[in-house]
Amino acid sequence: MTAIRLTAPAASGKPFRPALRCGNVAAMGMDWRRFLWRGIGHLVEPGVHLWLRRRAAAGREDIARLPERFGHAATARPEGRLIWCHGASVGEAQALLPLLQHLHAARPDITLLLTTGTVTSATLVQQRAMQGLLQGVIHQFVPVDLSNAVDRFLAHWRPDLVLWSESDFWPGILAELRRRRIPALLVNARMSERSCRRWNLAPGTIGWLLQAFATIYAQTAQDAERLRRLGATEAIEAGNLKEAAPPLPAIAETVMQWQMTLGSRPRWLAASTHPGEEVQIAGVHRALQSRFPGLLTIIVPRHPQRGPEIATALTAIGSSIALRSRSEAVTAATDIYIADTLGELGLWYRLCPIVMMGGSLIPHGGQNPLEPARLDCAVLFGPSMFNFSEAVAGLLDAGGAQQVQDAAELTAALGILLADPAKVAEIASAARAHAGGRNRILDILRDAALRSLPD
């Protein structure tokens, strides 16, 4: 076969990486998986366009930024070095933000490109940028894993290094990073034993994906061992980025306004709740409100768009509800306030001394208990916290949290804490001490990223 060489002019002064350089399939450094994936992508591309437009019509995509999903950049690439960081959704993006700040502080000359895949994560990034917390960072939506979109995205941004987060594996993107010899690190990686067993059913595929990363920085030693077992070239324990985050921000004036509104009223927070939990939480409120006159329960749903649906369900069982998205006031008659907005958990953690983590009363795996721990909260959670097992174990050992098995135990534990502010302060102090001083991972990943940049 005659050798093929396709090149294109660089958009800046930086040399362009050839899109294709081959003499035969073996010399191209490609394998059947990449060819198969690209072929499938070409076949399904019209359907993906239709699917994304339907998602946009339903509010699950940003219609104004839909071209970004097909690799069309919304802004020019700055000159100089660029590191592409990717986090799939809100949790992954939020965990990456402190690392981005750490990288910018060390090397302000490097542009940081952050991609995410959801509208809520984009909104969070925009809020953090408006708060001045994301200097040197450009946000784009991650391209869909179709060859045309990926090629277009990489040709425009030409990343010098990629930091991929957790386990959001996209075969087309990872194959192109490897083919173009773009160095990549997998950070904050996790691999449960259950997922490991499933991937073992396709060992060639997972090994092929993992080998796109020069080094994998896993959350725990167990995660690293499983990733090596599945074919990772190098996997080491570095810790959990979610344990290194600074306290969630809040606007000081808003905090003071709410403190004046709520006064000394007894209150507690159910944070990042999921379907099936809010009715249980309303039941806990009803069981305690006669013992604690004026008790206010604040619910922050994990997905803010569920606010009206939650309000309807709780009103139907007799609760007096106020909804933040509708600017409804909290009055003396309000039982439950649904804070269905994005990016305000820092506000509610500062206002509520007792916090129950959502996703733990149902078999979801829980939400990050270190966020309220950093803000002087006594932390409660249900039996399902497997997504944060290491953080849970640390908090429990430190006396900074209590675990309950169901809504009845939650009612009992909450009743004890509401009646004993000194006990709340003791637990909160232990939680804060445990959650603090856990930023070693930021230094590890910053140094690894800077060492991995090509000369």
**In contact, 70 and 45? CB cutoff 8 Å:** no
**In contact, 435 and 374? CB cutoff 8 Å:** yes
From edge to edge, which strands make up the β-sheet containing 215-218? 137-141, 111-116, 82-86, 161-165, 184-189, 215-218, 235-237
- Which single residue is written with the structure tokens 């981005």? 100
Amino acid at 382: G
Taking Cα atoms as reference points, which of 188, 186, 187, 192 lies closest to residue 223?
192
Taking Cα atoms as reference points, which of 32, 33, 27, 41 lies closest to residue 152?
41
379: which residues sit within 8 A by CB, 6+ positions away?
Answer: 355, 356, 357, 369, 372, 373, 395, 400, 401, 402, 427, 431
H or E element at residue 157: helix 147-157
Residue-level length of the chain: 455
- Which single residue is written with the structure tokens 């439950």? 336
Catalytic residues: 92
